[in-house]
Structure 1
Amino acid sequence: MTRHQRIAAFVGRIERGEVEGVTTEADRIAAVKDMGALPPTVGPDVQQTAARGPVRVFDMIGPHPVGENGVEYGPAGHRGRKTVQLADAFDVMAARAAARGAGSPFTAEQIGMGRFYRNLVERYESAGMRASSMDATTRGGGGPDGFMDALLADRQRIMIIRRRIGDGVALSMRKVRPSRRATRGTTRSVILDRRAVDAICLQEATLTDVLRAHGWAANGTNFKALTRAVGRTLERMAGPMRGQPDHSFTSDFARSIWDAANGSGDSDTGDAK
């Protein structure tokens, strides 16, 4: 379930009178506004809007002079204000885990790869929109050739990453006892690695959302199995570091995604869509 689907679902519950304490029209309006409520520490200039969805609030850190030559680092927000940032699925899952007293289900490296993949796909798919990204000023030369070179490099990186994801199964019904799969009468389907990664990275779904969307019970056993599978896929997506080919593969699949635009002669088949 994406951010906007969650918002629509909650608004639907409000309209159907399923939210406790919401009875009048004023209550309904207040409940919708509360969905976009922000703490006062971010300052009055950030508008309250329900469509924003979940956010994370943190301090920007910067240097502060101490004495004549000293420097110390501390919060550097304008007038002491905190910074608000739109939360993605990784932030939401980490916040839920923290509420249970647990750590994030994914490592910093896995999260970084997931966000890199998301940004890469969004940039590639929005390339036809004029001024669609601030990156447009840095993605190659000023002429059309520079733009096309950068676009093709993004396409090749996406192809390499998706080949690494492969057609594997993240959660198979054969690997889980029938009593632990889902509630009786629910139609279940296997969860492919690509489907799970795309749902989390591109559609803002959580692990729980992925399980329920495929008819699986969101219990501890299934959650842990899917977490391990997605984590392994994210690590596989990263592949070798810059300049370090993976000799277990051939052609451009063995190259680092960071080097994808620097060479020539590798195969360029497949579809990035």
Structure 2
Amino acid sequence: MSKTMNRGQGGEMLMERTLKTQTGNAVIVVGSDGTARLRAETDRVAKIKAAGAAPAQCGPEVPNAPARGAVRISNPRELVPGTTDKYQHAGWQKRSVMHRCDVFDTMRAQALNAHAKVKAKNKEAVFEEPFNAGQVSMARHYAGLHEGLQSGDLRGTSYGERVSGGGGGVDAVVLRLAARQEFEALERKVGRGVAMPMRKVRPSKRGAGRVCKMISDLDAVRAVCLLGLSMSEVLRKYDWTVSSRNSAALRAALRDALDRMQGYGASTTASK
């Protein structure tokens, strides 16, 4: 058995012991608190901690939280007083704002990666957003209404600011009813039919010979906005073949549905 000393990522002194086993050498790491783990397990835990680390530009007060998942950061800006075209960082102590990533952030990141590969071959390629800002905003508003109604907490929605315990507030039950009515009205705008882009996909291209379920517009909206499923995951859920053709048809149907939720007609920029 051999023994070495090493310093961990947090600065603590670690002791590594290499034990010979029938299947080879096993490295055991003993921390300063006496906890012993296999090196593979120690590396796995270290990766989880690193993934949950808060970005430094958001400030040291933000705790590390592995369960938080992926995040994106933004820098709030405000117009410099006395100017018309100059902006300055508006964050407290020049700090960035951290947002939890949702499925729309993930899909945009995937689209950017795919575009980078196309751009390497074709310099004139232009990036097209999977969903425009209005569609993403509506999807998040719809998801926020659902989460608030399910949890009984509407503080994260536009209704939250109107709840008050004083005489000037509106009764929480009334606001919950209003939120429920808005949620149901949005779903009525979506409808329960199947969008043309999905119907245009030939049965032979839908499930590669399997019996697959037709995906209604409301199915797509609920799966993506409420369950956080990607295009590929929705297709698998309904036994469709995952292909660029089917993903594009589903994305077009979802874009049209989100436009209707905003009060617009069918999207004219949906992918074909």
Counterpart among 56, 61, 67 of residue 40 in structure 1: 56
SS of aligned partner of 1:100: helix
Contact conserved, 2:163 with 2:171, CA < 8 A, in 1?
A: yes
- Cα 1:87–1:137, aligned 2, differ >3 Å: closer, same or farther? same
Equivalent residue, structure 1, for 2:99 = 85
SS of aligned partner of 2:171: helix
When normalised by structure 1's length, the TM-score is 0.66
Q: Give the drift of 1:225.
A: 0.2
Counterpart among 77, 83, 87 of residue 61 in structure 1: 77
Report which of the two has the higher share of strand.
2
1:188-203, aligned counterparts within 5 Å? 188-203=212-227
When normalised by structure 2's length, the TM-score is 0.67
Question: What amino acid sits opposite 1:82 in the alignment?
Answer: S
Question: What amino acid sits opposite 1:133 in the alignment?
Answer: R
Tell me how far apart the structure 1 counterparts of residues 41 and 165 of structure 2 sit (CA, whole Å): 55
Contact conserved, 2:162 with 2:170, CA < 8 A, in 1?
A: no
Question: What amino acid sits opposite 1:117 in the alignment?
Answer: Y
RMSD: 3.1
1:211-230, aligned counterparts within 5 Å? 211-230=235-254
Tell me how far apart the structure 1 counterparts of residues 256 and 246 of structure 2 sit (CA, whole Å): 15
Tell me how far apart the structure 2 counterparts of residues 139 and 118 of structure 1 sit (CA, whole Å): 20
Contact conserved, 1:172 with 1:190, CA < 8 A, in 2?
A: no
- Cα 1:214–1:164, aligned 2, differ >3 Å: closer, same or farther? same
Equivalent residue, structure 1, for 2:194 = 169
* Identity fraction in percent: 36
Contact conserved, 1:140 with 1:149, CA < 8 A, in 2?
A: no
Tell me how far apart the structure 2 counterparts of residues 80 and 173 of structure 1 sit (CA, whole Å): 47
Contact conserved, 1:171 with 1:226, CA < 8 A, in 2?
A: no
- Cα 1:52–1:171, aligned 2, differ >3 Å: closer, same or farther? farther
Tell me how far apart the structure 2 counterparts of residues 171 and 227 of structure 1 sit (CA, whole Å): 12
Q: Deviations over 1:107-157 (max 9, x none)?
A: 222112212211222222333x6xx62654514784797222222211221
Counterpart among 66, 84, 87 of residue 73 in structure 1: 87
SS of aligned partner of 2:219: helix
Q: Which of 1 and 2 has greater Rg?
A: 2
Equivalent residue, structure 1, for 2:233 = 209
- Cα 1:58–1:172, aligned 2, differ >3 Å: closer, same or farther? closer
Q: Give the drift of 1:26.
A: 0.9
Q: Give the drift of 1:229.
A: 0.5
SS of aligned partner of 2:224: helix
Tell me how far apart the structure 2 counterparts of residues 140 and 47 of structure 1 sit (CA, whole Å): 30
Equivalent residue, structure 2, for 1:249 = none
Tell me how far apart the structure 1 counterparts of residues 256 and 147 of structure 2 sit (CA, whole Å): 23
Length, aligned pairs only: 213
Contact conserved, 2:135 with 2:259, CA < 8 A, in 1?
A: yes
Segments of structure 2 that go 5 or more residues without pairing to the other structure are 1-37, 116-126, 266-272
Equivalent residue, structure 2, for 1:3 = none
Structure 1: 4+ residue segments shifted above 6 A: 171-174
- Cα 1:187–1:39, aligned 2, differ >3 Å: closer, same or farther? farther
